[in-house]
Homo-oligomer: A and B are copies of this chain.
Amino acid sequence: MPKRQVLLSSSSLYKDGSYLEHVRPYIEKLLTKNNAKHVLFIPYALASGDHDGYTKKVETILGKWGFQVDGIHKSPDQIASIKKAQAIFIGGGNTFLLLKHLYDKKLVEAIRSRIIDDGIPYIGSSAGTNVAARSIQTTNDMPIICPGSFDALKLVPFHINPHYLDPDTNSTHRGETREERILEFLMVNERPCLALREGTCLIIEGKDATLVGPANAILFRKGKEPTEFPPGTNFGFLFDECKD
């Protein structure tokens, strides 16, 4: 079976950088070594529904890097487009809306099969990272639409919290902090959640899952203290811990 090749970015933007700029070397490397010149882009996370505009934006950026981008929404047969895709990129927006589109259009199994069985590269950013995980149960997004199930593409057997935000010690706000929300998640679920701060990225190659970027990740496990891990950490042990 081919190796799983998945790049999961916490965010599409980092600080003042332009779109995807901070992950450009990782994306270029992944696509180049797979000889992927065409990227199938899935724009369904965008709540405004301007899929053309979103695809155009991604096309402009990835075009400069030497890759061609096709928006899946233009395809008369989306399953066929996935079956012949050289690489798949799902961008950010609203995770619930994205997953609802994937279910309604019956794309979940088709995408998963291309990544797991055929080994083509998957790139996810923000909502695209949420749907790559075991489920969307650790998204930060507002549940603006009900996807029916929270089960996601399961490209990794654990949960991911992108855009992880440290508690603001100056805040007088009495809603839960992000940490408290993930701890609530672990009170009713078993599998771990890996929290990725902005600017960081998880690069999965087969059974290796390496953290890259400017910040630690935090691993939240049931019944254990949340633990910080530095860039360079291989989270491959989570594949064994979780089973698939």
Contact = CB atoms under 8 A, between A and B. Distances in A.
Interface stretch (A60-68, A179-187, A200-208, A211-219): A179-187
A138 B145 CA distance: 10
B150 A146 contact: yes
Interface of A: 11-15, 47-49, 93-94, 96-97, 126, 136-146, 148-150, 163, 165, 172-176, 181-185, 187-189, 198
Main secondary structure of the interface of A (DSSP, over half): loop
State the number of copies, please: 2
Contact of A144 (B12, B137, B148, B149): B137
B13 A144 contact: no
Given A165-B175, A174-B14, A184-B47, A143 B144 contact: no
Contacts of A144: 137-138, 181, 184-185, 187-189
Given A97-B188, A187-B47, A142 B137 contact: yes
A92 B126 CA distance: 28
